[in-house]
Structure 1
Amino acid sequence: MKPVTAMHGRGLAMAIAAVLVVSASVKGSPADPPGKSPPPSSYAPVNEPDFQTTLSRMSSAKAGIMQRQKTLLEQRYDLSDRPLQGVTMDRKKPVQGGVRVKLKAGTSWDQLASMSPADIRAKDLFPAGFMPLPHPNHPEGGMLFPHFEIERVKQQDNRDLTRFDLDFDLPDAFLPEFPPAIYLTTRTDLGDVSKGQLVTLDNYYQLFNGLLNPKQLDGLRLLLTPFPQQQFNATADRRSLRPSQGVACFDCHANGGTNGATHLVGDIRPQEFRHRIETPALRGVNIQRLFGSQRALKTVEDFTEFEQRAAYFDGDPVIATKKGINILDRGSQVHDMAEFQELLDFPPAPKLAWDGKLDPAKATQAELHGQEIFFGKGQCSTCHTPPFYTDNLMHNLQAERFFKPRLINGMMAGGDGPIKTFPLRGIKDTPPYMHDGRLLTLDDTVEYFNLVLGTRLTADEKKDLVSFMLTL
């Protein structure tokens, strides 16, 4: 055995000291006292707790979390079932009408419209329903599906998209028609090619074989194929009761449209600053040049690949590898998926002429007046230009001028930043509105933009503007 020299002794002492420092940092130190939360990290923890412990803890907390969100929604909105007379979506689901955002006591819309943003902010009069909408459990987040989607997928694909910790929050009356119709740019003569069915792996081949070319047909198959995702996978830190095959693109974008499913944007940290996402329809992606509400991805191929590689796992490649990332081949699979998506058309709008504006012979006076407001005093066409009513740009409305930032159910309500201009074609079929679904009706959107843009529309102008948008 070799004797311990002075140098060896110093090295041994240094090693022991290092171990003691590491041990102290784990247990807590004066710089990191016991009980203090560590600073937020961009990475999620990889080592999951025991599944049964997590299941028990989160299941027992579910009722309280959902009641908290229900209370918030009831404070913000009138959630009664009050559809517009004679106005329906593609398959005759009634369209909800009226302003549903509640005002602070003692105020009116005209009064608010006459005030400056600084005054509204100082007096805290900005309607709560105009502020960003939190996820039902914002600190947790994750994909969350309406019950009607869950039940239909169970029936057709024998998959369960139920989360043991959360239920969807918005009432069905304010969600899109289910299942949406599918219109193809290549076969406008056929109308709804889904024939009223939810397209899944169970029936896609029967419905589309002979209607699509082989590349498009395989692209549709991939869009309907479930792949592992953050909450739905086989690991012990999933949020489904049983190990899950995962989710498919068309679980949220049902029939290439939307079912209103919600999630949190994967691009922002820390957690409380992340935005809720309300699933947009994929109809008309062939004319769009930006994808993702804020990501500004430049092609639908970029978007498709990004979703599978990053968004499915909250932008965390470590977790993605653990849970089962699906690497799609860009040159074949991604291309085929994009080729099908680019066939998805907007629904018919029989009152519009070739240029996207109203045919005077088919429109009512109220609709024509609403069109005049849209292209004039209302300033809507500044961003929403015909024929598809988008400028394919991003804009920052700076709505934070009207309120002081605050924490709402675990979400920091502040500035939205630049958001893409979503097309307005088919707008009546895709409630709720804004990127996070904070506006339940078109009447709410008119009041929101009337205030934020300072257009000071009259009651009749607002009403007719809604009438015009219903024709789109």
Structure 2
Amino acid sequence: MTVAKIRKCLAGLAAATIAFGFAYAQQGPRGKSSYMPVDITEPFSAIFARLSAQKPEVTREHMALLNERYDLSDRPAAGVTMDRTRPVQEGVRVKLPAGQTWEALANMSPEQIRDRNLFPKGFYPLPHPKHQEGGFVFPRFLIDEIKRQEARDLTRFDVEYDIPDHFLPEFPPAMYLNQRTDLGDVSQGKLVTINNYYELFNGIIPPKQLEGLRLLLTAFPQQQFNLTEDRRSELPSRGATCFDCHSNGHTNKATHLAPDARPQESRHRIVTPTLRGVQIQRLFGSQRALKTIEDFTQFEQAGAYFDGDHVIAAKKGMNPLDRLTQVDLMAEFQEELGFPPAPKLDVFGRLDPSKATPAELRGQEIFFGKGRCDACHTAPYYTDNLMHDLKTERFFKPEMINGLNEVGDGAIKTFPLRGIKNSPPYMHDGRLLTLDDTVEFFNLVLGTKLTGEEKHDLVAFLRTL
């Protein structure tokens, strides 16, 4: 081969290498492996000491992000409560970019907002409080009550829950049964656990549902809570239960990461949705589109409990659930969980004019009209049981923030809006702290250009659902 031919080959190889590199960059980041390390050689004492020492800085960094994005003050709405007595927080808590107003932003195109870096930071996807690690993180009030009743500790030594309590659902939440609406709140103001479920539900629900409830309250090994040296609990743990996140069949907004993407920075934060009204839903998992509550129940134990890695589950103690004698029973009880009462709604899910205020009636007109909310949230349960992509990446440039690769959200299921005031914060990752924030978000993303009064009326309507 001549020198000229060698040079030509090398030039071609260089060009191919550059092209491959460009194509790879266009694909986005790729992890070294889809699998978690199974064989941990570092002793637990060293892991505990190292991660415990890092916890204060991890907490400081993440809370700085929240304070940059939000007004976290406790400002309850006058006369508006959840099922019992917890006040509903009011007001837009997402902070605006300097010198901007919501009206000015609403009059810009997505491209203008992106190019001028004006998309409010509180509308960006919200990172996990320790995104590089992920995993279940529980609010302190849930940790304390489970420890009191069961002597089972859900504290993580490496990270703390982040969203302040006054933005979270009432605890313990009320619990309603579809076939026994005459009983009202069947939890009697208590957190239902393995210690008290029998006395609370024996004689109210049939044997299959009673067994299903028992399984939903039984602790199984989970990625951060188990017996291995790479757990994140100080003491060996029996694990976590389905209702550790779905308190009383509702939610306490415990958080973790979606199990269905790699590398770690591409995984999206998830806050626990309510199980109220699952009998009318046809999709489960905010971004995974599982088709039945049985699929969701079985998948959570087999995959999501272990961050989507069935290989490491074998080490940590996965508990395979039998579809007929366990999963179906768990699903049957979940499908008995009802929505909270909505005394102002008629049987079609619309406001009864004799019971609603003028602001609520105006808000209903906006919901089904100018606001275009019903394009996805159709009455009477206010969901279309579909997945939708809001294409939020139109509004901001990709950026790595606290371990999360901020590139948009992808398709998200339409959550039912019945009982929505009882389930803050909102969106799949909890980035919207109040209903006011939610209205501002969709007004901007959908381009509906609501006035200040229309936004206020729409929030008033949402509180009636």
TM-score interval, smaller chain: over 0.9
Question: Contact 2:31 / 2:262 at 8 angstroms: preserved in 1?
Answer: no
Alignment partner of 1:62 is 2:52: no
- 1:118 corresponds to: 111
- 2:338 is matched by which residue type in structure 1? D
- 1:244 corresponds to: 237
1:317 alignment partner, one of 310, 318, 322: 310
Alignment partner of 1:286 is 2:265: no
- 1:44 corresponds to: 36
- 2:17 corresponds to: none
Within a 5 Å distance, the mapping from 1:290-309 to structure 2 comes to: 290-309=283-302
- 2:181 corresponds to: 188
Within a 5 Å distance, the mapping from 1:258-273 to structure 2 comes to: 258-273=251-266
- The alpha carbon displacement at 1:332 in A equals 1.1
- 1:416 corresponds to: 409
Alignment partner of 1:464 is 2:453: no
- The alpha carbon displacement at 1:315 in A equals 1.2
Deviating 4+ runs (over 6 angstroms) = none
Q: 1 CA distance for matches of 2:308 and 2:449?
A: 41
Alignment partner of 1:203 is 2:203: no
Q: 2 CA distance for matches of 1:168 and 1:433?
A: 16
Q: 2 CA distance for matches of 1:419 and 1:403?
A: 19
Cα deviation code 1:215-272 (max 9, x no counterpart): 0000000000000000000000000000000000000000000001000000011100
- 1:266 is matched by which residue type in structure 2? P
- 2:73 corresponds to: 80
Cα deviation code 1:338-360 (max 9, x no counterpart): 00000000000000000000000
Question: Contact 2:276 / 2:337 at 8 angstroms: preserved in 1?
Answer: yes
Q: 2 CA distance for matches of 1:81 and 1:391?
A: 34
- 2:39 is matched by which residue type in structure 1? N
- 1:100 is matched by which residue type in structure 2? R
Within a 5 Å distance, the mapping from 1:379-398 to structure 2 comes to: 379-398=372-391
Cα deviation code 1:400-426 (max 9, x no counterpart): 100001001010111211100000000
Q: 1 CA distance for matches of 2:261 and 2:456?
A: 37
Secondary structure of the corresponding residue to residue 78 of structure 2 = strand
- The alpha carbon displacement at 1:364 in A equals 0.3
2:137 alignment partner, one of 141, 144, 153: 144
Alignment partner of 1:131 is 2:131: no
Cα deviation code 1:350-400 (max 9, x no counterpart): 000000000000000000000000000000000000000000000000011
Question: Contact 2:130 / 2:159 at 8 angstroms: preserved in 1?
Answer: yes
Q: 2 CA distance for matches of 1:415 and 1:126?
A: 12
1:215 alignment partner, one of 199, 208, 212: 208
Within a 5 Å distance, the mapping from 1:319-398 to structure 2 comes to: 319-398=312-391
Within a 5 Å distance, the mapping from 1:438-453 to structure 2 comes to: 438-453=431-446
Q: 2 CA distance for matches of 1:135 and 1:295?
A: 18
Please report the TM-score for the alignment, with normalisation by the length of structure 2: 0.93
- 1:255 is matched by which residue type in structure 2? N
- The alpha carbon displacement at 1:144 in A equals 0.3
Within a 5 Å distance, the mapping from 1:15-34 to structure 2 comes to: none
Secondary structure of the corresponding residue to residue 101 of structure 1 = coil
Q: 2 CA distance for matches of 1:139 and 1:289?
A: 32
Secondary structure of the corresponding residue to residue 124 of structure 1 = coil
Question: Contact 2:387 / 2:413 at 8 angstroms: preserved in 1?
Answer: yes
- 2:268 is matched by which residue type in structure 1? H
Structure 2 unpaired stretches of 5+: 1-29
Structure 1 unpaired stretches of 5+: 1-37
Question: Contact 2:249 / 2:334 at 8 angstroms: preserved in 1?
Answer: yes
- The alpha carbon displacement at 1:40 in A equals 2.1
Cα deviation code 1:3-44 (max 9, x no counterpart): xxxxxxxxxxxxxxxxxxxxxxxxxxxxxxxxxxx9521001
- 1:375 is matched by which residue type in structure 2? F
Instruction: Label 1:313 to 1:105 Cα distance change in 2 as closer, same or farther (>3 A).
Output: same
1:402 alignment partner, one of 395, 404, 409: 395
Q: 2 CA distance for matches of 1:348 and 1:319?
A: 43
Q: 1 CA distance for matches of 2:389 and 2:187?
A: 37
RMSD between aligned alpha carbons?
0.9
- 2:159 corresponds to: 166
Q: 2 CA distance for matches of 1:307 and 1:233?
A: 16
- 1:450 is matched by which residue type in structure 2? N
- 1:5 corresponds to: none
Q: 1 CA distance for matches of 2:31 and 2:73?
A: 43
- 1:90 is matched by which residue type in structure 2? D
- The alpha carbon displacement at 1:47 in A equals 1.3
Q: 2 CA distance for matches of 1:52 and 1:157?
A: 25
Please report the TM-score for the alignment, with normalisation by the length of structure 1: 0.92
- Of structures 1 and 2, the larger Rg is shown by 1
